[in-house]
Amino acid sequence: MSIIKLARPEIQALSAYKAAAQVDDTVRLNANESPQDTSIGNFRRPLNRYPEVRPRRLQEALAARFGCATDQLLVTRGSSEAIDLIIRTFCRAGRDNVVIPSPSFSMYAHYAEVQGAEIKEVPALAERDFHIDVDALLDACNEATKLVFICSPNNPTGTPILRDDVLRLIQQRSETSAVVVDEAYIEFGDQASMIDLLDEFPNLLVLRTLSKALGFAGARCGAVAGSEDVISMLNAVQAPYALATPVVECVEDVLQADQLALAEESVREVVAERERLIAAIDEFEFVRKVWPSDANFFLMRVTDPAFILQHCIAHKVLLRHFDGDLSDCIRITVGSRADNNRLLQALRTMVEK
């Protein structure tokens, strides 16, 4: 059963933008482009011409990397744009809602608020390393629940979500909600992607990004994978020419085998540093708890977060603090070995005082 019927009626009827034709080795007088190419940059494609409406070669390369069919994937400006597209597509302002475990990535609620959708947050199980409460999530859903967001590993807790838990959500909401699984940090853990389930579950959407494991946050490139009909609908909502030519070309380059091998080595180094850093920080008396993590960061509960944050700032080290239920917690991103040593030294000087 397709989840197209869950989308806003006006989106179901929407047609994708019809761009001017782009044909190699032709004189292009059909798109109001400048005839003068720029001399800035060393790009394979001319910058005076619009990029492809949808970069097909990049789409094929990302689909191959993530393990889905080309037409099951839409390339987006980071996975954040994918979140925005999904919410705008499925949620009617003032009528529909999204269900989100808490704590989780703040942009799910942010884009829902922008769209005017109701936000229903369900506390995760802090006593179980912030694993999601599937029963509570299902109880929070109703006939107006169009989307359920799951981040695995979760940001900011680093917790992986059990595959069976996600499957239960997908199956229980099969005809009434799309379940969006955000896998931004999946390369830093051991769990397999949910993308292999796309053909079996049409209400599953999976988000991926190049910002973390591949180190391309500045390029703003990500993707959403789902059934072909849903991807086609999201394609109609996304702005034409969404990805700039320099972005397309640099991402094509980073997806080459030699660059992917370097990225995999970098991930291994980050994972090793994560475990070293967690072990070292857990020894400090001001640290009450450090949660295990499958991401490139970890969360710790401390006795005086404000003092720690200010002390680290004075030593030119920035950490992340959160409000609400995590007001006594600090999130630490795993940096290079030198960066991590600098953090440890700053924390030691605090204790020595």
- Say how many Å lie between the first and final Cα of the chain, rounded: 63
Domain containing 242 — which CATH number?
3.40.640.10
Q: What is the pLDDT of residue 32?
A: 47
Q: Are residues 82 and 214 in the same domain?
A: yes
Domain-terminating residue out of 255, 275, 291 = 255
From first to last of its 353 residues, the chain has per-residue pLDDT tens of 788 888 888 888 888 767 767 777 765 645 545 456 666 677 888 888 889 899 999 999 999 999 999 999 999 999 999 999 999 999 999 999 999 999 999 999 999 999 999 999 999 998 899 999 999 999 999 999 999 999 999 999 999 999 999 999 999 999 899 999 999 999 999 999 999 999 999 999 999 999 999 998 988 999 999 999 999 999 999 999 999 999 999 999 999 999 999 999 999 999 999 999 999 999 999 999 999 999 999 999 999 999 999 999 999 999 999 888 899 999 999 999 999 999 999 999 987 76
Contact indicator for 249, 43 with CB cutoff of 8 Å: yes
Q: Are residues 44 and 183 in the same domain?
A: yes
Q: What is the pLDDT of residue 12?
A: 87
Compute CA 270 distance to the chain's CA centroid, rounded to the nearest angstrom: 18
Q: Are residues 237 and 284 in the same domain?
A: no
Q: Are residues 208 and 240 in the same domain?
A: yes
Place of tokens 């037409």: 71
Q: Are residues 245 and 335 in the same domain?
A: no
Q: What is the pLDDT of residue 35?
A: 59
100 phi-psi bin (left φ>0, alpha ψ -120 to 50, beta other): beta
Domain containing 342 — which CATH number?
3.90.1150.10
Three-state SS for 130?
coil
Q: What is the pLDDT of residue 233?
A: 96
Three-state SS for 300?
strand
Q: Are residues 243 and 330 in the same domain?
A: no
In angstroms, the CA 177 to CA 141 distance is 9
- Burial label for 287, CB within 10 Å (0-12, 13-18, 19+), is middle
Q: Are residues 241 and 281 in the same domain?
A: no
Domain-terminating residue out of 221, 255, 289 = 255
Q: Are residues 111 and 214 in the same domain?
A: yes
Number of domains in the chain: 2
Q: Are residues 170 and 290 in the same domain?
A: no
Q: What is the pLDDT of residue 320?
A: 93
Give the residue from 326, 346, 327 showing the smallest Cα distance to 335: 346
Host domain of residue 267 = 259-352
